[in-house]
Amino acid sequence: MNPVERALRAVDRTQQRNRPLAVVVGVVKKYGDDRGGLLAALITYYGFVSLIPLLLLLSTVLGFVLHGHPDAQQAVVDSALADFPIIGDQLRENVHSVQGSGLALVIGVAGLLYGALGIAQVLQHAMAEVWNVPGVRRPGYWPRLGRSLALFATLGTGLLLSTAAAALVGAALGGPAARIGGLLLSAALNAGLFLACLRILTPKEVPSRGLLPGSLVAGPLFTVLQAFGAVLVTHQLRHATAVYGFFATVIGLLSWLYLAAQITVYAAESNTVLARRLWPRSLLQPPLTGPDEQVLEDLARQEERRPEQHVDVEFEDPPPDRDGSADS
C-alpha cells in the first residue's frame, strides 16, 4: 500500500465512523451512482423548453380562477416570474393569457398543456431513478399524465398561497422585519410545496414520511436560490452580460434552472439514503460495505422490465483478479 492510498484509507475509515459525515458521503455517492448530474441536466433541458408554455398555461388558468380580479392575477404571475433572476422582466413582458374564441382557447390550452407536460414527465422519471424503482413497477402513461396535471394544480395553488402570504407579511410588518419574515415564510412554504410535489412525483410505494427530510432541506435552499440567484448568475456571467445580452439571458436562465434541478435531485437522494440507511459508503474499494452492496443490487434490479424477468445479484469476497482467479 503506497502512502497516498494509506492516507486515503485513513480518511475513509474516519468518515465511516462519523455518522453525519458518512450520511453526506452516502448522499454524494448515491447521486453519482444514479447519474444525478445527467438527471439534473435532463430536468434543466425540459424545464427550459417548457418554461414559456408552462407560464402561458398558468396565466391562462389564473385568468379563469381569478376572473374579475386582474390585479390579483397579475400579482401571482409577477410573483412566479420574480423567482427567475435577470430574465424575469423579459418573461413578464412576453407572457400573456391565451385569449380569443372558445375553440381557439381550447386548442391553445391543449397545446400549452402538451408542451408543459415534458417537465412533469422527466421529473417523475428522475424520482423513479433516484428510488431505483424497477421498470416493471413504474406507472404507465395515463397515471403519469394524471400526476402531471396534479403537479400543475399544486404549483398553481402554491403560487397563490405564497403571493397571499407575502402580501400579508408586507402589510403586517415593515422594513427589515418584513424582509426577514418574508424569507422565513417563503422557506416554510417552499418546504411544504416541495413535499407536496415530491408526493405527487414519487412512486406510491415510497411512504410520505420518507420524503420529509429532503423537503426540509430543499425549502430553505430554494429560498436562498430565489433571494441570491441574481448575484450567483451575475457573477457567473460577469464577462458576457455587457456584450452578449441575449446569450447571457439564455445562459443565466439555464444556470438558474440547473441549480434548482441539482437541489431537487440532491434532496431526493437525501430521502433515499436516510430511508434505506445507505451509509457508511466506502470511498476506496474493495472492500464493499453493506450499503455499497445494497446500492449496486438496487441498480441492477432497477433494470427489470418484464414481470417474468428477475435479476439476482451476488458478490464475491475477495473479488476476482483481472485474469478471473480469486486471491489466495
CB-based burial label for 306 (10 Å; 0-12, 13-18, 19+): exposed
- 320 pairs with which residues across the strands? 326
Range of the domain at 276: 28-301
CA atoms within 13 A on the CB side of 292: 14
Sign of CA dihedral 176, 180, 183, 186: negative
Spatial distance between the Cα atoms of 240 and 131, rounded to a whole number of angstroms: 39
Burial 209-246 (b: 16+ CB within 10 A, else e): ebbbebbbbbbbbbbbbbbebeebbeeebeeebeeeee
Model pTM score: 0.82
Residues of the chain with pLDDT under 50: 100, 239-243, 327-328
Please list, in sequence order, all residues whose beta carbon lies within 8 angstroms of the beta carbon of residue 275, skipping any fewer than 6 positions away: 206, 207, 210
* Per-residue cell: 117: 407536460
What pLDDT does residue 63 have? 64
Give dist(CA 328, CA 241) in Å, integer. 63
Number of domains in the chain: 1
- Domain contains 9: no
Residue 12 belongs to a domain: no
- Asked whether residue 205 is assigned to any structural domain, the reply reads yes
In a domain, 327, yes or no: no
- Rounded Cα distance between 222 and 140, Å, is 30
Instruction: Express each pLDDT in 232-244 by its tens digit.
Output: 555 555 544 444 5
323 located within any domain:
no
Question: Is residue 99 domain-resident?
Answer: yes
C-alpha cell at 259: 441549480
Q: Which helix (H) or strand (E) holds 319?
A: none
Q: What is the pLDDT of residues 313-322, one digit of tens each?
A: 988 876 666 5
